[in-house]
Amino acid sequence: MKFELTILGSNSASPAFGRHLSSQVLNIGQNFFLIDCGDGTQNRMMNFKVKATKINQIFISHLHGDHFFGLVGLLMSYGLNNRKEPLHIYSPPGLKPIVEIQFNHELGYPIFFHETNPEKHVLLFENTSVKVFSIPLVHRVPCHGFLFVEKRRPPNMIKEKILEYQIPFNKIKDIKKGANFITKDQRVILHKELTKPASEPRSFAYCSDTEFSKEIIPFISGVDLLYHEATFMHDLLEMASKTKHTTAKQAAIIAKEAAVKKLVLGHFSSRYSDLTPLLSEARTVFENTILATEGIPIVI
């Protein structure tokens, strides 16, 4: 099953140096989730051929414009393209009136605004394949990240055993759930002989925007991929603290202490045309770090 992240925008505040504003699409087995929606996000989707129509859940981290100003354009386009499926938007309180004042007509599909409590680590959404939790962050306005955790899938059948014991198709569902198989000659074949465990559930954590906060470590411990904001280099630590942002080094400390598998840095300040110093800085602490690169999917 696919578990793939496409970053549409990696810059903070304003677009610069060909980098765009915060937005990502996570594809978990053809369930598409949009995370933040900076100005021009629908253009980025067009550029990268993202299947915007397949998005049914949008998660907004906080109400700073560079994280949500692209939302109304996307909502309007859904209406114009005759969307009928409900759309669910999760965000801190305050988004609904901002959206509603901008439309003087019905959009033609239901929009559900789910107001979150950014101070809580709670389950926001789940379906058959994934659970999405909020991660409390510390920023200048109420803000949270998001943790996407794949559900453990049932074990896989071992093909050779199906042939060996001539297992009929209609028994497979039960065996995957844990049943043993009884052959025609009444032999009991144990479940564990017939199956192999599915691959470990994968996970992705999105942490932007936030000041350096070790409070998040329990929530993101061991995730396969952590996107953490790294607005500044560490020489601008004072600026980072003042604006409640994180340095590249601090993001790497979080990644290391949370023992994540991979770190992707993003939400870069417009002062940096070349990002390699941020990458180098983070790698001195946590080697398996990459820079957010817009439009190139990261397979988890």
39 counts as catalytic = no
Among 38, 92, 136, 142, the residue binding a second copy under the rule CB under 8 A is 38
Give the tokens for residue 147. 């943790």
CB 15 within 8 A of CB 23: no
In angstroms, rounded to a whole number, what is the distance separating the alpha carbons of residues 45 and 9?
A: 10
Taking alpha carbons only, the member of 21, 26, 20, 33 closest to residue 6 is: 26
**Mask: binding to a second copy, 58-97, rule CB under 8 A, as x and -?**
-----x-xx--xx-xx--xx--xx---------------x
Torsional class of 25: left (φ above 0), alpha (ψ -120 to 50), beta (otherwise):
beta
Question: CB-wise, 141 or 182, nearer to a second copy?
Answer: 141
DSSP assignment of 12-32 equals: SSS-BTTB-BSEEEEEETTEE
Task: Check: CB of residue 128 under 8 Å from CB of residue 122.
Answer: no
Nearer to a second copy, 65 or 86 (CB): 65
**Quick check: 295 binds a second copy (CB under 8 A)?**
no
Distance CA 72, CA 99 (A): 6
Question: Any contact of residue 242 with a second copy (CB under 8 A)?
Answer: no
Which one among 82, 104, 170, 276 touches a second copy, defined by CB under 8 A? 104
Catalytic residue from among 39, 66, 209, 224: 66
Q: Where does this chain touch a second copy (CB under 8 A) — which range of 16-24, 26-34, 115-123, 170-178?
A: 16-24
Q: Which residues bind a second copy (CB under 8 A)?
A: 13-16, 18, 20-21, 38-43, 46-47, 63, 65-66, 69-70, 72-73, 76-77, 80-81, 97-98, 101-104, 141
Q: Which are the catalytic amino acids?
A: 66
